[in-house]
Structure 1
Amino acid sequence: MLKNLQMIMNIFLVMLNTAFTSLVVSILAIIKLVLPFSGVKVSMSKLANKQMWLWATINLWLLNVNNKIDWQIEGGEGLSKEQWYLVISNHLSWADIVILSSVMKDKIPMSKFLLKHSLLYVPFVGLSCWGLDMPFMRRHSHEFLVRHPERRNDDFKAINKACEKFRRVPTTMVSFAEGTRGSQEKIASAKTPYQHLLKPKTGGVAFTLNAMNELLDGVVDITLAYPENRQDPFNDLLKGKLTKVVVNIKLHEIDENLSGDYFNDKVFKRGFHRWLNSVWQEKDEYLKGIYSTTKNC
């Protein structure tokens, strides 16, 4: 009963924090719409990012107040909030966004995500995400593209347009390369060469990398694990039962493995496949070590 009450209170506080953030960022977005001058846009984007930092800071406080978490954070040296990054990460739970934002908020610029275009029309959420300069992707079906081949580059145009805004303010784009949450059930039923991960969707990472390449100072490679809460870390987080969070951070420089035209250069495309798969193999080996020494609760 006590845990259920705690869960209800936590949900209420998280929703309140998120609602307040959405309201503030929406107001800043409206100012950008009404006064579409370059200086105003930059100022409003910076204020929106600061509001997101406050959102993440409050979330981190709520995490630590309601859970007795053993934080195991490794790496992250040499990162800067004044640079541009692409983050690639495994994806386990809805908790990942909260954890990533909380852990990385003082290391790199606040994170942006690729969003479905339909979210643009959700009250407050769509406007606030637009105010944060997040790109909205249409993700056309194969059947639609057969009928309208001229729309094939819509998503690439959207992220290129977003990158024009990113030039003005240091930015972090996040790519959950597996494309979906890698629950234990999904991993067990999927055709994956990894024990604890789904296959990374190389095209999705390359798509973002291609669009942002000339802006990027590096690729931040993050491995997440909730070794004592593997079944449902987000539910456990809300119930105050989250006990251990592992965040491993590596920085990859922009070198020949990451600089190239994935869509037109077959040699680079094959090399990028090898590079990303090797990154995922290292993640899997790291997770094997984490899980083998921790009892799953």
Structure 2
Amino acid sequence: MLNFLPSPLVGLIAGTLLICNVMIWCSLLLIFALIKILIPVNTIRKWINPLLTKIAEAWIFGNSTWMKITQNTQWDVQGVEHLNYKGWYLVNANHQSWVDILVLQHVFNLKIPFLKFFLKQELIKVPVMGLCWWALDFPFMKRFSKDYLEKHPEMKGKDLETTRKACEKFQQMPTSVMNFLEGTRFTQSKHAKQQSTYQHLLKPKAGGIAFAINAMGDKFDSLLNVTIVYPDGIPTFMDFLLGKVKKIIVRVEKKPIPAHFSQHDYNNDPEFRAQFQQWTHELWLEKDQTIQNLLNGQPHQPLT
């Protein structure tokens, strides 16, 4: 709507609305988070948790609203028509920019359960947001390095046990868990350093998604394999605020997760690890081709 204005003014308005939206919903979220801390009673938490989710969804709706007001972005989205708001999903996407977070939240809000990210344990200490993530039951992962486990073998398996406990609450209400398989944002320098065999993607880090599947058991209904394409080039967050992102393409494919994946230990079963890596490699081959097709203006043709 306001994209006809000079881009600095668009960015100022968008940034102001973004900050106001954060202050309104984050403040409300923190109030109920404090109640959750001060009254650690299961019956209270069962009442508060759905309310916290509704607040978070309203926060995302607020983001979508200021985006609509300030941006003139053409959204080309396919694959979200038959998703279940009451399902359990593992969501995976290619990662290029912090804009990806807003894209995913905008596309999936109220179509699937609120997206939750597996976070490093250290992030719970982030001021304000750490408490918000805790209140929203984001699972915090405590991963141990190989060097640490060699010195402390008694801790082997404790990281998975901790994450499983964090995921137990997901049995109580539908959940979507978000994972970026590349583990970091794509850049040409990272691509060259990795010597990635994929044209548009970094090498997938299969361990993280295997860890999530193992921690959740067989609770996931399916994998939502998301491909995000910016036809005019990968934008920065500031590019987005300034209204410079003219088109965003999103393709969502619902794929089954092999049942036996939740029953094996990725770290300690070499045969399963090779099988799982092959599965992610095939996902990545198809995603790489999807990106190329979309950049060429061609329809997506799944690999056979």
TM-score by length of 2: 0.89
Alignment match, 1:207: 211
**Alignment partners' CA distance in 1, 2:47 and 2:230:** 37
Q: Does 1:236 align with 2:239?
A: yes
Alignment match, 1:121: 125
Alignment match, 1:261: 264
Q: Which moved more, 1:122-131 or 1:150-159?
A: 150-159
**Alignment partners' CA distance in 2, 1:140 and 1:272:** 21
State how 1:40-79 maps to structure 2 within 5 Å. Answer: 40-79=44-83
**Alignment partners' CA distance in 1, 2:50 and 2:237:** 29
Alignment match, 1:160: 164
**Alignment partners' CA distance in 1, 2:72 and 2:260:** 40
Kept in 1: contact 2:229–2:249 (CA 8 A): yes
CA drift at 1:233: 4.0
1:173 aligns to what SS in structure 2? strand
Alignment match, 2:249: 246
**Alignment partners' CA distance in 2, 1:256 and 1:138:** 25
TM-score by length of 1: 0.91
CA drift at 1:204: 0.7
Q: Does 1:109 align with 2:113?
A: yes
Q: Does 1:191 align with 2:161?
A: no
**Alignment partners' CA distance in 2, 1:183 and 1:238:** 21
Kept in 1: contact 2:216–2:262 (CA 8 A): no
1:71 aligns to what SS in structure 2? strand
Q: Give the unaligned 5+ runs of structure 2.
A: 299-304
- What is the root-mean-square deviation of aligned Cα atoms in Å? 2.1
Kept in 2: contact 1:262–1:268 (CA 8 A): yes
1:242 aligns to what SS in structure 2? coil
State how 1:21-100 maps to structure 2 within 5 Å. Answer: 21-100=25-104
CA drift at 1:219: 1.1
**Alignment partners' CA distance in 2, 1:226 and 1:158:** 37
Q: Give the unaligned 5+ runs of structure 1.
A: none
**Alignment partners' CA distance in 2, 1:7 and 1:257:** 48
Kept in 1: contact 2:13–2:70 (CA 8 A): no
Task: Report the AA paired with residue 246 of structure 1.
Answer: I
Q: Does 1:227 align with 2:210?
A: no
1:245 aligns to what SS in structure 2? strand
Seen in structure 2, the aligned counterparts of structure 1 residues 240 and 57 have a Cα distance that, compared at 3 Å, is same
**Alignment partners' CA distance in 1, 2:126 and 2:190:** 29
1:55 aligns to what SS in structure 2? helix
Task: Report the AA paired with residue 257 of structure 2.
Answer: I
Number of aligned residue pairs: 293
Q: Does 1:277 align with 2:242?
A: no
Q: Which moved more, 1:120-129 or 1:146-155?
A: 146-155
Alignment match, 2:302: none
**Alignment partners' CA distance in 2, 1:266 and 1:256:** 18
CA drift at 1:32: 1.6
CA drift at 1:90: 0.7
Kept in 2: contact 1:48–1:131 (CA 8 A): yes
Kept in 1: contact 2:113–2:175 (CA 8 A): yes
The alignment-based identity, stated in percent, is: 36
Of residues 184, 201, 209 in structure 2, which corresponds to 1:180?
184
**Alignment partners' CA distance in 2, 1:20 and 1:154:** 38
Give per-residue Cα distances to partners, 1:237-282, cap 9 Å, x unaligned: 1101111111110111233474431435444332221111101100
2:263 aligns to what SS in structure 1? coil
**Alignment partners' CA distance in 1, 2:144 and 2:276:** 25
**Alignment partners' CA distance in 2, 1:143 and 1:257:** 29
CA drift at 1:119: 2.3
Kept in 1: contact 2:225–2:255 (CA 8 A): yes
Seen in structure 2, the aligned counterparts of structure 1 residues 157 and 28 have a Cα distance that, compared at 3 Å, is farther
Seen in structure 2, the aligned counterparts of structure 1 residues 267 and 190 have a Cα distance that, compared at 3 Å, is closer
Q: Which moved more, 1:126-135 or 1:210-219?
A: 210-219
